Chain A
């Protein structure tokens, strides 16, 4: 495993994941000091402040929603789904990068993932929380949504309809949320033990001690732990692929032109990874600067993520090309009309071209190694992708719905201020959760990064003994 014959700068060659000169001691000191410090960076308060204000906006928007009903939102027949599902799909997609980094890259033995996996997993969970806001509050009366969504024996003897993609979605997303939290917490246990042992205040020792479950780094525990981590990764990988597939079924199973396409599942999954990596970079570029983590989240990480973004972005563009091609090739009047309306003659054609600018043209900058290693350019491209992926869902959902089969039922869609307040409110919720996490939890998988240090993988010197390995 150690010795490789890959050329310099080959993507398969082992990346120097941590900067030179790091030791177990220096890593522990550096990564625990982020939390056990009396000097929280000023920028932290700035981000937190923005997040907190937006959470207040979210609370206001949701309170008004519960008082008045979903009539305060702009969606109405024929656009029965708009911001609520756009934002849901956008957030769920963002979450996918965390699972991809920690599960799929683990299975592919991509060691560079270790520096970024923890924060990406946290991002997954917070993105899923933000995503969940929309379907839950879209029901208007969330307290009734329990029996609409979940199968449990109730006095009305009602059960959900398992033949509907919407109930598949409930199962996929709730499983995804649960498994992500389990995976994340499993990863946290050894680092929480490090925090317990490094904490000085008794209350800190108590809290981290309880969360660490009494972990003591026993070799037998590590053996089981590695076993379980690998299995959880193996379970998360097909799960993450299924989640956005099921989300895409919400559309693909319908007969609406613009939705009814077999390309949707792979195209949605690629889009999710694309959006997710863009969001990971959006968060990590400021965070690594704020906490001086340049030795742990190196330019190699940034570059690798930029490459993943480029590849998945091209898959997404292939999806757009397929949609357009089949709209024409089907020979179906409605499909062809959908295509022309979406790209040219419709009132929302601007959104399609904006989408191509954000998701297709701007990310082409990532072909250049110079730009991939330029933080400002990468950050800017990520912002374009964040916007582009939102526009993609807007194009798919709103422009397909607003003009379907019968011209007499065509109608424009305009979001209201409550739509925007809810959307920006969830961005605030995301920021708040993310920055609280960074403040109190190990945002880098300390023990995993330690396994990458020289000398962390000793060679057995007594091979004659023991029959196992």
Chain B
């Protein structure tokens, strides 16, 4: 962690793979070798890839639950406050606090806030929007959204060494390993 990178401007090494299988195998190997500051890139989601790199996170479901509960309380609260406190009106003899009639809007606000917090937390946790990222400097990286698979070992990884890591990645059936700058 405290170990400084070999060259300050270097961001890391990016290895290119031709299939999802070779990328997943390489990810397992990289983790086994003890690298922790890693990432992988693929055109489509690959099950188990993030886990292979040692990544696990359970934040989004909690945010969504919180958002949903806020929507429920907020929606019902709005209905109660407007119909009972702010502007009580006798309409068709129905009670001011007509809780049955209050269910549909509260149901909708629950889903609304849950969905918005789902989207918001996804964008926030992924650090998007981020138009610039060092990996975009790799000349062939534009294929990561089409048909190529990439594995990144960051220079700030404590085990990182330019030559050692490069030869290690090349040994994992990588098509090519390039160094990318910050």
Contact = CB atoms under 8 A, between A and B. Distances in A.
Please determine whether chains A and B interact with each other in the same assembly: yes
A420 B46 CA distance: 50
A469 B53 CA distance: 12
A467 to B, nearest CB: 9
A23 B40 contact: no
B78 interface: yes
A210 B53 CA distance: 29
Given A172-B104, A222-B49, A214 B40 contact: no
Name the residue in A159, A162, A459 with the highest tally of chain B Cβ atoms < 10 Å from its Cβ: A162
A238 B50 CA distance: 30
Given A242-B104, A458-B24, A461-B25, A214 B130 contact: yes
B104 A246 contact: yes
A151 B41 contact: no
A157 B86 contact: yes
A24 interface: yes
A85 interface: no
B139 interface: no
A196 B147 CA distance: 14
A458 B50 contact: no
Interface string B115-138: 110110111011011111101100
A106 to B, nearest CB: 13
B145 A239 contact: no
Interface in B128-162: 128-133, 135-136, 141-147
A172 B147 CA distance: 41
Interface residues of A, number: 75
B56 to A, nearest CB: 5
Contacts of B114: 231, 235
Interface in B5-54: 19-21, 23-25, 27-29, 31-32, 39-54
Interface in A171-220: 171-172, 175, 178-179, 182-183, 185-186, 189-190, 193-194, 196-198, 209-210, 213-220
A157 B88 CA distance: 12
B118 A457 contact: no
Interface string B71-85: 000010011001100
A217 to B, nearest CB: 5
Contact of B45 (A172, A226, A469): A226
A167 B82 CA distance: 13
A223 interface: yes
A163 B91 contact: yes
A24 B146 contact: yes
Interface stretch (A305-313, A335-343, A396-404, A446-454): A446-454
A161 interface: yes
A272 B32 CA distance: 52
Name the residue in A179, A189, A196 with the highest tally of chain B Cβ atoms < 10 Å from its Cβ: A179
Contacts of B130: 213-214
Contacts of B61: 227, 231
Contacts of A81: none
Contacts of B40: 218-219
Contacts of B82: 151, 159-160, 162
B168 interface: no
Interface residues of B, number: 80
Contacts of A186: 119, 122
A462 B87 contact: no
A158 interface: yes
A214 B128 contact: yes
Contacts of A466: 28, 31, 51-52, 54
A221 interface: yes
A462 B28 contact: yes
A451 B45 contact: yes
A172 B51 contact: no
B53 A219 contact: yes
Given A28-B146, A159-B86, A242-B107, A219 B42 contact: yes
Contacts of A227: 60-61, 122
Nearest to B54: A466
B114 to A, nearest CB: 5
A368 interface: no
Interface string A342-360: 0000000000000000000
12 contacts: A158-B87, A159-B86, A161-B91, A163-B91, A168-B105, A171-B75, A194-B146, A219-B39, A223-B55, A225-B45, A227-B61, A468-B51
Interface of A: 23-25, 28, 151, 157-165, 167-168, 171-172, 175, 178-179, 182-183, 185-186, 189-190, 193-194, 196-198, 209-210, 213-228, 231-232, 235-236, 238-239, 242, 246, 249, 447-448, 450-451, 455-462, 465-466, 468-469
Given A197-B143, A223-B50, 14 more contacts: A162-B82, A162-B105, A210-B129, A213-B130, A214-B132, A216-B133, A216-B136, A218-B126, A223-B55, A228-B60, A236-B115, A249-B104, A457-B46, A466-B54
Question: Which 4 pairs from chain A and chain B are nearest by CB?
Answer: A24-B147, A462-B28, A223-B50, A213-B129
